[in-house]
Chains A and B, each alone.
Chain A
Amino acid sequence: MSDQNKQSFLNQFGADYQYGFSDPDIASFRAEKGLTRDIVRQISAFKEEPEWMLNLRLKAYEHYIKRPMPGWGPDISDLDLNNIYYYVRPPEINQRSWDDVPDTIKNTFDKLGIPEAEQKFLAGVGAQYDSEMVYHSIQENLEKQGVIFLSIENGLKEYPDLFREHFGKVVPIQDNKFSALNTAVWSGGSFVYVPKGVKVDLPLQAYFRLNNPNLGQFERTLIIADEGSQVHYVEGCTAPTYTEDSFHSGVIEIIVKKNARVRYSTIQNWSTNVYNLVTQRAAVYENGTMEWVDANLGSKVTMKYPSCYLYGEGAHGEMLSVAFAGPEQIQDAGSKMIHFASNTSSKITSKSISRGNGRSSYRGLVRVASGLEKINSNVVCDALLLDPESASDTYPTIDIRSDDVNIGHEASVSRIGEEQLFYLNSRGLTDEEATTMIVSGFIEPLVKELPMEYAIEMNRLIQLQMIGSVG
């Protein structure tokens, strides 16, 4: 990659926060604020959906209305669900070519470096603007091998049977209030199918952009990795900085079939007025491997616990996460590993950094069903506090109903040590340089798992988060 390309790529995930700009409103349709049954019908009608989907949405809506807000976790009582636009439709577009994307939107994605990144090192790109995908494209050779990478709407249209077989099965309506909400109003997201034995070498990337204020974005992604296949899906997100809150509540469902391998990486860099309440789950079958790589840097409040349901023998689930809670931010993140079969293993590595009055929590669950053998699970959570105002909590839950289980849990909380600072100072590094170096080292186990372009970006974002961190 040339320096210039690299720079434009680097621009895409946002910075200090240089992606707080917004475009004029060019929406072609905007549902009224708040959520009603009619709005659910409207969304479904816009998408020309089959009856079963409308019915599923309405059922989900009923559940959402009845279900109370979660009685645990961070305080989200300031999130006014009646003051949100649940559906804002950008102008009609065909998604196949950047040339057809309206200039206003295309300029935004140009500034974020998406088209260049697509040419350089991605197998496919999807881009969502407010409520709809405006672009979705995959390399021709992958398409020829039968790889499907479409907007979720086009997935439903073009592959109705495959879609219906899997949609809502990994994350059912009753799972939680926000997954019910998502099922009622979902719009945008990707539909991915990788056929048996096909390995997609380069990442598929989806990029999410919120433009309008008080907007709710409810993307829904369904990834099906057939037997022996392999795919890496990456999502990135930014939003303008508004004084009013926005809301992002996605649902990601992943099916990892026998011997398949899926990695799902997130670099979440929403502006700090966004509530980010996300449900991500993978069903993993015989000898399959699911890896979540999760970086939460932005948002006002994030609640996110990507999980692996290990259904087949030999299945392996892994979570590698880093959360950075700066001033006024709450990162409540973790993972769930549920063992339903013998010979399954899971690993959770969670790292959090807090500064200012930022608060980061690890909230995790390891559950082993009864009557299983040879289960391995290992959880390591490390928290780094940069100053006395910041805080960190750990809520590990372990629920074991079998005997033949080998389980490890380690947790540590550290402050940047005086001796570490002194050592680095004594080599000429200022406090800020030294602190940044210690933080970079702290997250290195995660960064080295990312493709190089993302690793560079992660380090840069961390450096930007650190500016002004030392008084």
Chain B
Amino acid sequence: MTKIEIKDLHVNVGDKEILKGFNLTVNGGEVHALMGPNGTGKSTLAYALMGHPRYNIVKGDILLDGESILDMSVDERSRNGMFLAFQYPVAIPGVTLANFLRVALNAKAKAHNPDDKGISLVNFRRLLRSKMDMLKMDYAFGARYLNDGFSGGEKKRAEVLQMAMLEPRIAILDETDSGLDIDALRIVADGVHALKSSELGVILITHYQRMLEYMNPDFVHIMYAGSIVESGGAELALKLEAQGYDWIREKYPDTRNSGQA
């Protein structure tokens, strides 16, 4: 069964330490919500897990199924089942979403079996359409250039579509709910919900209770100034919804203002 263990992770961006001893274990089948005020290192965690070159891991380890992934390149991590749904996906002009997904699927298949000839066009189209149906996406979307001129909601939906196609084992969703209206939110949340399986562990970074209502997380963590300061169940998210973060800032004053996005 899938398992990711993040152990005492310290991450610098430039000279600045952003993550200061972050610990979390996520098993397949679990959904962990990660909440917290802006600038506490949530996106840093997402980038560091995926291996962004500018996020420098100075201490600690990340184990996927017991093996460290720190020496793996970004694409190797992806092919080993890691996935990041970006908060701000970049545009790749001139490359259609469908073509991009086909190349990505084939890259993954080839990594697992060098003789893999890749998915046929017919099978690919069938697969893509079934996933698009799930996310209530127009098929014409596949012919658009990747994230190029997409609205905020379209970008988020495209991220979840990619997740559905690539079938990761660990998915980090970085504020996939932000910028969505209530209908889009429900569709995206339903889509992610439909992907839940015992093989998939989810880290859901969010500011809002709304997404959690649909996703029904097993654990809620509050992150503050570079590490998790509170963990609990759904009641923790409700408390945040009602009271905001002031009580966190008061409870953990020594770490105040020391974090940065």
A residues whose Cβ falls under 8 Å from a Cβ of B: 417-420, 422-431, 433-434, 437-438, 440-445
Contact = CB atoms under 8 A, between A and B. Distances in A.
A442 B94 contact: yes
Nearest to B79: A428
B92 A438 contact: yes
A422 B51 CA distance: 9
Q: Which 10 A-B pairs have the closest CB atoms?
A: A441-B94, A444-B94, A425-B74, A441-B95, A428-B78, A427-B104, A425-B75, A428-B107, A428-B79, A428-B108
Given A440-B95, A441-B93, A444-B94, A423 B53 contact: no
Q: Which of B78, B82, B166 has the most CB of A within 10 A?
A: B78
Contact of A423 (B79, B89, B93): B89
Given A427-B78, A429-B75, A438-B92, 5 more contacts: A422-B53, A427-B104, A430-B75, A442-B94, A444-B145
B78 A441 contact: no
A427 B90 contact: no
B50 interface: yes
Interface of B: 50-54, 73-75, 77-79, 82-84, 86, 89-90, 92-95, 100, 103-104, 107-108, 111, 145-146, 162, 166
B52 to A, nearest CB: 6
A425 B73 contact: yes
Q: Which of A418, A426, A431, A433 has the most CB of B within 10 A?
A: A426
Chain B contact residues: helix, strand, loop or mixed: mixed
A403 to B, nearest CB: 35
A422 B55 CA distance: 12
B128 to A, nearest CB: 14
Contacts of A419: 90
Contacts of B79: 428
Contacts of A427: 75, 78, 100, 104, 107, 162, 166
Contacts of A444: 93-95, 145
B94 A440 contact: yes
A304 B93 CA distance: 27
Contacts of A422: 50, 52-53, 74
Nearest to A423: B90
B92 A424 contact: yes
Nearest to A420: B90
Given A441-B93, A444-B95, A426 B50 contact: yes
A420 B53 CA distance: 13
Contacts of B145: 441, 444
A423 B92 contact: yes
Contacts of B107: 427-430, 433
Given A425-B78, A429-B103, A430-B107, A437 B95 contact: yes
B92 A437 contact: yes
Contact of B54 (A418, A426, A440, A443): A418
A428 B95 contact: no
Contacts of A443: 94
Nearest to A438: B92
A433 B95 CA distance: 13
Nearest to A425: B74
Contacts of B104: 427-429
Contact of A437 (B83, B100, B108): B100
A423 B85 CA distance: 10
Given A418-B54, A428-B104, A429-B104, A441 B74 contact: no
24 contacts: A418-B53, A418-B54, A422-B50, A422-B53, A425-B73, A425-B74, A426-B74, A426-B77, A426-B86, A427-B75, A427-B107, A428-B78, A428-B104, A428-B108, A429-B103, A430-B107, A433-B103, A433-B107, A434-B75, A438-B95, A443-B94, A444-B93, A444-B94, A444-B145
Nearest to A443: B94
A433 B93 CA distance: 16
Contacts of B92: 420, 423-424, 437-438, 441
A424 B90 CA distance: 9
A138 B159 CA distance: 51
Contacts of A417: 90
B77 to A, nearest CB: 8
Nearest to B73: A425
A426 B111 contact: no
B86 A423 contact: yes
Contacts of B73: 425
A101 B188 CA distance: 65
A437 B75 contact: no
Contacts of B90: 417, 419-420, 423
Contacts of A430: 75, 107
B62 to A, nearest CB: 15
